[in-house]
């Protein structure tokens, strides 16, 4: 297990650093909001690789087990939320192009990225913070407070309620929004495709259209083609989201089954296989781009 984690960490860090370097060069030449989000995804995935390097050795100091689990959770959250931000960016560009051009800007991009990281670290370290709050104010605990000397694993020290709050309630709302946006974009893409076909048929009959109408059709076609380019660019994002669903869905679904059925003994499957499968999403992301 340690060997697999070590190789995975090296591959995740190296591939994301290569993609991040290439994206940084592109941003220095031509600043673009979308590329900033993709660069942030590469940064988040790189930090995921750095986070799991400590898991390669089972004798890791359990004194900081809560902090380490919080860091790993935060980086995974940042990767997931950044993918959602990229999809939302493409959705806005297609659904509301005028408002998108007005909303695009350096400060809006910076604010969006700050919101992603603040939310990620808040959710990642929430169990540890609630544990401290319980010690001070005697509220119901969400994390084990007794000294733990066993193997440093997330499911061994984190309370079931924390797992539900941090994972299941995050994954399924994000999944629902993904499905809604892509169905809506698919509908818009079909409409644009029909309009482009009609305009091309009309422009191919010069005897049936005046010069003014021809200019209008040319301008309208240019706008539709520009919007259609956003739809084609969304294919890459679609592959990205598809990989996310394939790699992370088994973990979240089995996580719910594990919480509902303790007799099923799914903890080892979650920690040794499905969680590792989800981490491979950080390796797939740079390969897609």
pLDDT in tens, 161-183: 666 666 666 777 888 888 888 78
**198-205 own/partner pairs: CB under 8 Å, 24+ apart:** 199/224
Mean pLDDT of the chain: 74
Whether the CA torsion 27, 24, 239, 70 is positive or negative: it is negative
Collapse the DSSP code of 143 into the 3-class scheme (helix H, G, I; strand E, B; otherwise coil) and give the result.
strand
Contacts of 112 (CB under 8 A, 6+ apart): 37, 85
State the average pLDDT over residues 255-283: 83
State the average pLDDT over residues 254-260: 82
Considering its fold, how many domains does the chain have in total? 1
State the average pLDDT over residues 49-66: 66
Residue 135 domain boundaries: 2-288
Q: How far is Cα 258 from Cα 267, in angstroms, rounded to an integer?
A: 7
Considering only residues 104 and 22, tell me which one the structure prediction assigns the higher pLDDT.
22
13-17, 110-114, 166-170, 230-234: least confidently modelled range: 230-234
CATH of the domain at 208: 1.20.1070.10
Statement: residue 42 has pLDDT above 90: yes
Query: What is the reported pLDDT for 193?
Result: 64
Q: How far is Cα 45 from Cα 78, in angstroms, rounded to an integer?
A: 8
Query: What is the reported pLDDT for 273?
Result: 83
Statement: residue 185 has pLDDT above 70: yes
Query: What is the reported pLDDT for 13?
Result: 92
Closest CA to 202 of 188, 220, 225, 187: 220
Which stretches within 153-210 are classed as H helix?
A: 154-157, 160-163, 169-203
Neighbouring CB atoms inside 10 A of 199's CB total: 18
């Amino acid at each position: 297990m340690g060997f697999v984690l070590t190789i995975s960490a090296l591959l995740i860090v190296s591939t994301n650093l290569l993609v991040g370097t290439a994206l940084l060069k592109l941003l220095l030449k031509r600043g673009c909001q979308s590329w900033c989000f993709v660069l942030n995804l590469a940064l988040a995935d790189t930090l995921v690789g750095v986070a799991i390097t400590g898991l390669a050795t089972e004798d890791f100091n359990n004194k900081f087990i809560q902090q380490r689990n919080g860091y790993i959770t935060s980086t995974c959250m940042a990767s997931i939320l950044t993918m959602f931000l990229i999809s939302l960016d493409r959705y806005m560009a297609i659904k509301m192009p005028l408002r998108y051009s007005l909303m695009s800007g350096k400060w809006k991009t910076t604010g969006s990225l700050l919101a992603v990281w603040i939310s990620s670290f808040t959710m990642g370290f929430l169990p540890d913070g609630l544990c401290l709050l319980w010690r001070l104010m005697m509220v119901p605990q969400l994390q084990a407070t007794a000294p733990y000397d066993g193997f440093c694993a997330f499911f061994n020290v984190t309370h079931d309620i924390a797992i539900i709050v941090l994972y299941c309630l995050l994954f399924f709302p994000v999944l629902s929004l993904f499905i809604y946006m892509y169905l809506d974009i698919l509908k818009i893409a079909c409409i644009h495709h029909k309009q482009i076909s009609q305009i091309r048929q009309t422009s191919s009959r010069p005897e049936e259209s005046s010069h003014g109408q021809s200019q209008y059709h040319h301008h309208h076609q240019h706008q539709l083609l520009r919007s259609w380019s956003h739809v084609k660019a969304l294919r890459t994002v679609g592959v990205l989201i598809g990989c996310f669903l394939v790699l992370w869905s088994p973990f979240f679904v089995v996580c719910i089954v594990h919480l509902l059925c303790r007799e099923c003994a799914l903890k080892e499957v979650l920690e040794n296989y499905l969680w590792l499968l989800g981490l491979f999403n950080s390796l797939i992301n740079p390969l897609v781009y």
